[in-house]
Chains A and B, each alone.
Chain A
Amino acid sequence: MFAYIVRRVLYAIPILLGVNLLTFLLFFVVNTPEDMARMQLGAKRVTPEAIEKWKAERGYDRPLLWNAQAEGAGRATQTVFFQKSVRLFALDFGASEDKRDIAAEIGERMWPSLALAVPVFLVGLAVCVSFALLMAFFRATYLDLWGVVLCVAMMSVSTLFYIIGGQYLLSKLWHLVPISGYQGATDALRFLFLPVFIGVVAGIGASSRWYRTLFLEEMGRDYVRTARAKGLAERAVLFGHVLQNALIPILTGVVAVIPLLFMGSLLSESFFGIPGLGSYTIDAIQAQDFAVVRAMVFIGSVFYILGLILTDISYTLVDPRIRLQ
């Protein structure tokens, strides 16, 4: 097990290098540093000197991938790629275009993101599992049929509609909660209610339907027939046997998502004005701040790989038949 985890972590290094190379290609080769300088400086102030100064300030004045003028190892290290991308491995994110330290910013913005993402995740999971269980319990009745219809309908509604509709109904019409914004401490509850509620509602359709399929699949198994043959009540079968076994694929599926909660949710954060990592990323995209986008892409892929490893470990924990080698 330990050896497996070590191997997986080592395997992550080429993947992260690949991610870095890809973002690097997207940002620097399609768009040269000169273009970026022009974009950031604005059309008016562009002079050759200003561009050179901008590049030197940010360390973009080196060659991109290979420095032929440097000596020895410097040929690979004295390049924009090494300085900008490989440093991310040491969690050295550098500064954003407005000269703020990205690492500090991330540390600060992580909390609002988590305050939104964790409740959405937990409440959403509870609601979807309960709803799916309800449909599975009343399978092949009108309740089940209409439940599935509701799920498909809810899946077909754009997330944007949930957000805009929720803001309009709860905040503007009924004045229950503020429309957007964020404050720390106890006030956070008031601001977070609406985004959490909408996050949960937007996820119900797809997840409940998926969990229902898993429950029904589990109900077709032999041990369920045996339990019924023993004379167990339907309720005991469902909660005592099926629920436990069906939770395995649900939980292992969900484990992959947990690390990504740190990344925040792009849409709801920017809609509700929550100063988390998601809105940070969106703002960076819109301001074309490549340093920030690069850092967020890197962190995102680290968490994704972490999620994959956690999924594998969770399989061995819940199912002793699976051994990692």
Chain B
Amino acid sequence: MPVLLATDVLVWLLVAAAAAYGLHCRRHEHLAAPWARVFRSPAAIASTVVLAFYFGAGLLDSLHFRPQLPQKPDAGQKVYSVEVLSVLDWTLAHLRGRTEKTYSAPLAIRSFAREQVELPGGKIAREFPRLQFGGAHLAKEGHWASDVGWRVFKGLGFAAAILLAAAIGMRILRVRWPEVPWNAAVWALGGLLVLLVPALVLSGGYHVLGTDKVGNDVFYQALKSIRTSLVIGTVTTLVLLPLGIALGIMAGYFRGWVDDVIQYLYTTLNSIPGVLLIAASVLMMQVVIDRHPEWFATAAHRADAKLLVLCAILGLTSWTGLARLLRGETLKLSELEYIQAAHALGVRGSRVISRHILPNVAHIVIIAMVMDFSGLVLAEAVLSYVGVGVDPSTSSFGTMINSARMEMSREPVVWWALATAFGFMFVLVLAANLLADAVRDGFDPRVRMAGTPKAVAA
């Protein structure tokens, strides 16, 4: 039975909107030109490939359903589990189900912690027990090295095959778009595949990146966390953009008391320390959500509502920067001759805004949207650490870091959960930053935008 979570709907709406925008750009030369400039940069192409992998995982994780429970043949009605799964869960079912008892190192076959084990002779000893799933297929422990080696080799073989196909495909694309640096795309894809495909092959028999405190596979958690980051980075803009665009343009266009009121609004919002405002709002909404369990069909719905609320709050608290930029730009634009001419011809205000001002500030909106993304992804981790982020049951990089941060003080160090979360997040944010730079250069190198959203700056 398919399940529509609110964030799923919004994410897919955004995908549809992006596709529509892409088609619209293709038909209009002046809109396509800046994007063509963006994709002439090797860094932009490479980061697009990396982001495509993240978005792919995130979108697969945004198709939810409730699996049908096994039932007796004579029972008429179908029974569905209360557990909500996604297509990604279903593809990675082998990772989801296999939980160990506690920590285990990457690719380990024995547990990280000693345990009382009953020896065949009836004696009891304390030793590191074999893992339930990690390397369980090995008949002898000595086979570990050769098995891992063989799997890595197989993975690299698959990776090379896919890469070869992709390289040939890009040869063909080069004929159509010769100015795009396809080599960068091949390199980025190669790097991704070399890391990812062997990891997936290994994950069939091992915990590639170890397990966490309660024995969950870290690799699987990291893949699941991608969706949360993407939702926060994209759905937030759904709240941020309308507010920022409408209020910024109104303030700049109408001036007078409208300008005063809007400026008052954003100075007030800005003057509250970002983390405090977000924390206060999130805490309040969480109390409301917790007090009304009847609103939600399953735990997944509730966690999803919390995620959505977090996005809304982040959007409500961070539209001010965009509004200020747009206000300044609109003030400048409305002094220009063509706007004056439109006024002289008797064009109505609403029409001047939609026909003349909006298209001329669109580049600022696009740049702001891309630049906000990485800041929001980083903000999520910080907020989850403070305890005002996503629901603890939602896997996200923030919750992974939060639950793993005491592990550095253990002896020996449990480094894998932290390293995985930071690694996945670093690649995502780096790719987003590089793309944002290219987009800014392609659309308007003169636009100055410093700083990160308020939440991170703290």
- Give chain A's interface residues, CB within 8 Å of chain B: 14-16, 18-19, 22-23, 26-27, 30-31, 35, 39, 152-153, 155-161, 164, 167-168, 172, 206, 210, 213, 253, 260, 263, 265-267, 281-282, 285-286, 288, 293, 296-297, 300-301, 304-305, 308
Given A286-B387, A297-B276, A31-B451 contact (CB < 8 Å) = no
Cβ of B279 within 8 Å of any chain A Cβ, yes or no, is yes
Q: Which residues of chain A come closer than 8 Å to B381, judged between CB atoms?
A: 158, 160
Task: Check B408 against A297 for contact (C-beta < 8 Å).
Answer: no
Given A27-B280, A152-B434, A267-B458, A157-B422 contact (CB < 8 Å) = yes
Q: Which residues of chain A come closer than 8 Å to B387, judged between CB atoms?
A: 285-286
Interface centre among A168, A265, A301, A308 (most CB of B within 10 A): A301
Interface residues of B in 265-313 (CB under 8 A from A): 267-273, 275-277, 279-281, 283-285, 287-288, 291
Q: Which residues of chain B come closer than 8 Å to A286, judged between CB atoms?
A: 386-387
Query: What residue in chain B is nearest A152 (Cβ atoms)?
Result: B433
Query: What residue in chain A is nearest B281 (Cβ atoms)?
Result: A26
Q: Which residues of chain A come closer than 8 Å to B273, judged between CB atoms?
A: 260, 263, 296-297, 300-301, 304
Cβ of B437 within 8 Å of any chain A Cβ, yes or no, is yes
Cβ of B102 within 8 Å of any chain A Cβ, yes or no, is no
Given A158-B381, A164-B408, A300-B272, A30-B401 contact (CB < 8 Å) = no
Among B271, B287, B385, contact of A304 (Cβ-Cβ < 8 Å)? B271
Task: Check B264 against A156 for contact (C-beta < 8 Å).
Answer: no
Nearest Cβ on chain B to A307's Cβ, whole angstroms: 9
Task: Check B264 against A282 for contact (C-beta < 8 Å).
Answer: no
Cβ of B4 within 8 Å of any chain A Cβ, yes or no, is no
Please, what's the 1-or-0 string for B414-436, where 1 marks a CB less than 8 Å from any CB in chain A? 00001000100110011011100
Task: Check A159 against B378 for contact (C-beta < 8 Å).
Answer: yes
Interface residues of B in 361-394 (CB under 8 A from A): 374, 378, 381-382, 385-388
Query: What residue in chain B is nearest A306 (Cβ atoms)?
Result: B271
Among A22, A23, A172, A308, contact of B408 (Cβ-Cβ < 8 Å)? A172
Please, what's the 1-or-0 string for B426-458, where 1 marks a CB less than 8 Å from any CB in chain A? 100110111001000000000010111000101
Cβ of B130 within 8 Å of any chain A Cβ, yes or no, is no
Interface centre among B272, B284, B285, B386 (most CB of A within 10 A): B272
Task: Check B271 against A300 for contact (C-beta < 8 Å).
Answer: yes
Task: Check B272 against A19 for contact (C-beta < 8 Å).
Answer: yes
Given A14-B264, A15-B264, A152-B434, A172-B272 contact (CB < 8 Å) = no
Q: Which residues of chain A come closer than 8 Å to B451, judged between CB atoms?
A: 206, 210
Given A26-B281, A30-B284, A158-B378 contact (CB < 8 Å) = yes
Q: Which 9 A-B pairs have the closest CB atoms?
A: A301-B271, A156-B430, A18-B268, A304-B271, A300-B273, A156-B429, A30-B284, A210-B450, A161-B422
Q: How many residues of B contact A (CB 8 A)?
A: 50
Q: Which residues of chain B come closer than 8 Å to A296, judged between CB atoms?
A: 273, 276
Some 10 contacts from A to B, beta carbons below 8 A apart, are A22-B269, A156-B429, A164-B401, A267-B458, A285-B283, A293-B276, A293-B280, A297-B276, A297-B280, A301-B268
Task: Check B422 against A158 for contact (C-beta < 8 Å).
Answer: yes
Distance in angstroms between the alpha carbons of A304 and B271 in the assembled complex: 5
Among B270, B385, B430, contact of A160 (Cβ-Cβ < 8 Å)? B385
Q: Dominant SS at the A interface?
A: helix
Distance in angstroms between the alpha carbons of A260 and B457 in the assembled complex: 12
Nearest Cβ on chain A to B432's Cβ, whole angstroms: 8
Q: Which residues of chain A come closer than 8 Å to B284, judged between CB atoms?
A: 26-27, 30-31
Q: Dominant SS at the B interface?
A: helix
Given A158-B378, A161-B422, A152-B385 contact (CB < 8 Å) = no
Cβ of B405 within 8 Å of any chain A Cβ, yes or no, is yes
Distance in angstroms between the alpha carbons of A154 and B200 in the assembled complex: 29
Q: Which residues of chain A come closer than 8 Å to B270, judged between CB atoms?
A: 304
Query: What residue in chain A is nearest B378 (Cβ atoms)?
Result: A158
Q: Which residues of chain B come closer than 8 Å to A35, judged between CB atoms?
A: 287, 291
Task: Check B268 against A206 for contact (C-beta < 8 Å).
Answer: no
Q: Which residues of chain A come closer than 8 Å to B287, judged between CB atoms?
A: 30-31, 35, 39
Distance in angstroms between the alpha carbons of A18 and B268 in the assembled complex: 6
Query: What residue in chain A is nearest B397 (Cβ atoms)?
Result: A158
Nearest Cβ on chain B to A211's Cβ, whole angstroms: 9
Distance in angstroms between the alpha carbons of A73 and B386 in the assembled complex: 41
Task: Check A285 against B268 for contact (C-beta < 8 Å).
Answer: no
Cβ of B146 within 8 Å of any chain A Cβ, yes or no, is no
Distance in angstroms between the alpha carbons of A35 and B291 in the assembled complex: 10
Nearest Cβ on chain B to A89's Cβ, whole angstroms: 15
Distance in angstroms between the alpha carbons of A35 and B287 in the assembled complex: 9
Task: Check A285 against B388 for contact (C-beta < 8 Å).
Answer: yes
Distance in angstroms between the alpha carbons of A210 and B280 in the assembled complex: 31
Given A30-B288, A160-B401, A281-B276, A19-B418 contact (CB < 8 Å) = no
Q: Which residues of chain B come closer than 8 Å to A301, judged between CB atoms?
A: 268, 271-273
Cβ of B409 within 8 Å of any chain A Cβ, yes or no, is yes
Q: Which residues of chain A come closer than 8 Å to B277, judged between CB atoms?
A: 297
Distance in angstroms between the alpha carbons of A270 and B73 in the assembled complex: 58
Q: Which residues of chain B come closer than 8 Å to A22, judged between CB atoms?
A: 268-269, 272
Nearest Cβ on chain A to B317's Cβ, whole angstroms: 11
Task: Check A160 against B276 for contact (C-beta < 8 Å).
Answer: no
Among A30, A156, A206, A265, contact of B426 (Cβ-Cβ < 8 Å)? A156
Please, what's the 1-or-0 string for B196-213, where 1 marks a CB less than 8 Å from any CB in chain A? 000000000000000000
Query: What residue in chain B is nearest A282 (Cβ atoms)?
Result: B386
* A15-B264, A19-B272, A285-B386 given; 15 more Cβ-contact pairs under 8 Å: A19-B271, A30-B285, A30-B287, A31-B284, A31-B287, A152-B434, A152-B437, A156-B433, A160-B405, A164-B401, A253-B450, A293-B279, A300-B273, A301-B273, A304-B270
Q: Which residues of chain A come closer than 8 Å to B267, judged between CB atoms?
A: 15, 305, 308
Q: Which residues of chain A come closer than 8 Å to B409, judged between CB atoms?
A: 172
Among B268, B386, B448, B452, contact of A213 (Cβ-Cβ < 8 Å)? B448
Q: Which residues of chain A come closer than 8 Å to B279, judged between CB atoms?
A: 285, 293
Interface centre among A14, A157, A167 (most CB of B within 10 A): A157
Query: What residue in chain A is nearest B401 (Cβ atoms)?
Result: A160
Nearest Cβ on chain A to B260's Cβ, whole angstroms: 10
Given A158-B422, A164-B405, A23-B268 contact (CB < 8 Å) = no
Distance in angstroms between the alpha carbons of A282 and B386 in the assembled complex: 7
Given A172-B408, A263-B273, A159-B288 contact (CB < 8 Å) = no
Task: Check A160 against B433 for contact (C-beta < 8 Å).
Answer: no
Query: What residue in chain A is nearest B432 (Cβ atoms)?
Result: A156
Among A30, A156, A266, contact of B458 (Cβ-Cβ < 8 Å)? A266
Q: Which residues of chain A come closer than 8 Å to B413, judged between CB atoms?
A: 168
Query: What residue in chain A is nearest B386 (Cβ atoms)?
Result: A282
Interface residues of B in 43-78 (CB under 8 A from A): none
